[in-house]
Amino acid sequence: MPASQPRSRARDRNNVLNRAEFLSLNQPLKGNQESRSSSRKQSSQAGAGGAQSSGPKERRQSQQLPEEDCMQLNPSFKGIAFNSLLAIDICMSKRLGVCANRASSWGGARSMINLLGITGHGIPWIAGTLICLVKSSTLAGQEVLMNLLLALLLDIMIVAGLQKLAKRKGPYDINPGLLDYLTMDTYAFPAGHASRVAMLSKFFLNHLVLAIPLRILLVLWALCVGFSRVMIGRHHITDVLSGFVFGYLQFRLVELIWMSSNTCQMLISIW
């Protein structure tokens, strides 16, 4: 036994794998094992803690979702009423578009309805106002015509701005005409013809001395021009009704900023 022990020790010394530089191949260091095990424990604890902490966070985020990402199972009464009125407006406007195309029920009267619509265009009214202003020789007439010209220009700008904001299409896919492009009347809401004829009729009723039959004809003309835009398929009913309202508001605006005779004479002399 004593002789065998020195021999085994000599063998161990002579074994290359027992050297210090090769010990890590056979027996990993205890420090490495401990560090690895501790790192594993820490990672597992961190994962468990993250899972526990992420749970309440996700719940809070799900509870704080914006309203547009949530399904509205119970819409408000206002939303239901608005959508219902919008659907009725579209349906009735399509039914009343009897002259929308040649194949419609009143397709033969399309040219007459277009001619009626031309009487409410802004370009003919502006051109006629300028011609009358050049030929007018009285101060009162020039004052009325200058304010009428201001009202027409304001109508074009206000309606064009509102249409650009709303960008509502008509009930039928109908391309605007040349005069519509000149007055920037390319969208449906509000109806430019309706606002213009409402403003003009109210302007003439206030500043011209007209007989009762002419007053009635003026109002009927405004109503016919407005609703002819529904018959031609360019506007909805609500577009025309809102156009009448905006036309009256534009008249009130012109009355507030009414230019005096001296101001009109100064502008005419500059022109």
Whether 236 is catalytic: no
Q: Decide if 174 contacts 233 (C-beta within 8 A).
A: yes
Q: Say whether the peptide bond before residue 75 is cis (omega within 30 degrees of 0).
A: no
Q: Which is nearest to 222 in space by CA: 202, 238, 236, 242?
A: 202
Distance of CA 160 to the CA centre of its chain: 14
Q: Of 121, 193, 207, 236, which residue is the catalytic one? A: 193
Q: Which two tokens stand for residue 19?
A: 């050297």
Residue 190's contacts (CB-CB under 8 Å, 6 or more residues apart) are: 159, 162, 163, 166, 239, 242, 243, 245, 246
Whether 207 is catalytic: no
**C-alpha span between 23 and 42 (Å, rounded):** 28
Q: Decide if 188 contacts 234 (C-beta within 8 A).
A: yes
Q: Of 121, 207, 235, 236, which residue is the catalytic one? A: 235
- Residues carrying an active site annotation: 193, 235
